[in-house]
Amino acid sequence: MQTEVSDFDLRHLDRDNIDAFTLTYRMLTQNNDRFSIGRLAENYEFTHPLFHNAFTQLREQNTLFLSTGSPLQPGGDAVTYREILDTVIYGELAHSNKKKAAMFQHWTRWPAHEKCLWLVFDHALRCSMEILQHFRDLNAATLMAYFAVPVREESVFQRLQEKGIIRKDLTFSATCGSD
């Protein structure tokens, strides 16, 4: 069975969810924001080597993903996932960069190319979200270790157990009692 990008309908993309993610993504990735991953890295300099090394490896994984060429290849050159995210976020969704807006318009001048871009953007968002969830889990473990802050979400608790950060014999309710 052969299909083309033009055969796909992008109704599954929820603009409200994309906008919400975009605001969070911008906050976490713009180094001038006090909640950015770059600023958070400064705090991890003072943590136990286990946490510091995990944070460093996670940042390296994120950098590697963002610098990887995507399937989008206008003019024969692969566009990185960082370029995809930046162009769509700052050129189309946030309307904050005229150069990126022009690039978005150039990439989407044909309907099939626009659909392809949104599919690649969707993939980049999902991968970025997964990496951001790892940062969240690492922060939860760090807060637990240093400040005895209980984990409030059972899914985070379970991921910390799966990663071997907290003991597998602990139960969520015993560790995270109500205040």
Is position 1 within any domain? Answer: no
- Same domain, yes or no: 106 and 178: no
- Given this model, what pLDDT does residue 123 score? 93
- Given this model, what pLDDT does residue 44 score? 94
Is position 78 within any domain? Answer: yes
How many Cβ atoms from other residues are within 10 Å of residue 175's Cβ? 14
Is position 6 within any domain? Answer: no
Is position 93 within any domain? Answer: yes
Confidence of residue 9 (pLDDT cuts 50, 70, 90): low
- Same domain, yes or no: 77 and 36: yes
Task: Write the secondary structure of the chain as one string of H (helix), E (strand) and C (coil).
Answer: CCCCHHHCCCCCCCHHHHHHHHHHHHHHHCCCCCCCHHHHHHHHCCCCHHHHHHHHHHHHHHHHHHHCECCCCHHHCCCEHHHHHHHHHHHHHCCCCHHHHHHHHHHCCCHHHHHHHHHHHHHHHHHHHHHHHHHHHHHHHHHHHHHCCCCCCHHHHHHHHHCCCCCCCCCHHHHCCCC
Structural domain of residue 172, as residue ranges? 150-179
Instruction: Name which of 113, 158, 162, 166 is nearest 141 in CA terms.
Output: 166
- Given this model, what pLDDT does residue 155 score? 77
- Same domain, yes or no: 122 and 156: no
- Same domain, yes or no: 65 and 97: yes
- Given this model, what pLDDT does residue 4 score? 47
Is position 8 within any domain? Answer: no
The phi and psi torsions of 69 (rounded to 5 degrees) equal -70, 135
- Same domain, yes or no: 109 and 179: no
- Same domain, yes or no: 112 and 179: no
- Given this model, what pLDDT does residue 3 score? 41
- Given this model, what pLDDT does residue 85 score? 94
Q: Which tens digits make up the pLDDT trace of 136-167?
A: 888 888 888 787 777 777 777 788 788 776 67
- Given this model, what pLDDT does residue 2 score? 43
- Same domain, yes or no: 116 and 129: yes
Which of 106-115, 123-132, 166-175 is least confident?
A: 166-175
- Given this model, what pLDDT does residue 179 score? 44
- Same domain, yes or no: 20 and 106: yes
- Same domain, yes or no: 55 and 133: yes
Is position 44 within any domain? Answer: yes
**What whole-number distance in Å separates Cα of residue 43 and Cα of residue 37?**
10
Q: Which tens digits make up the pLDDT trace of 13-70?
A: 677 877 787 888 888 888 888 889 999 999 999 998 888 998 999 999 999 999 999 9
- Is 5's pLDDT higher than 50? no
Structure tokens belonging to residue 127:
């991968």
Question: Which position has the token pair 């006090």?
Answer: 34
Is position 77 within any domain? Answer: yes
Is position 122 within any domain? Answer: yes
How many Cβ atoms from other residues are within 10 Å of residue 122's Cβ? 15
Number of domains in the chain: 2
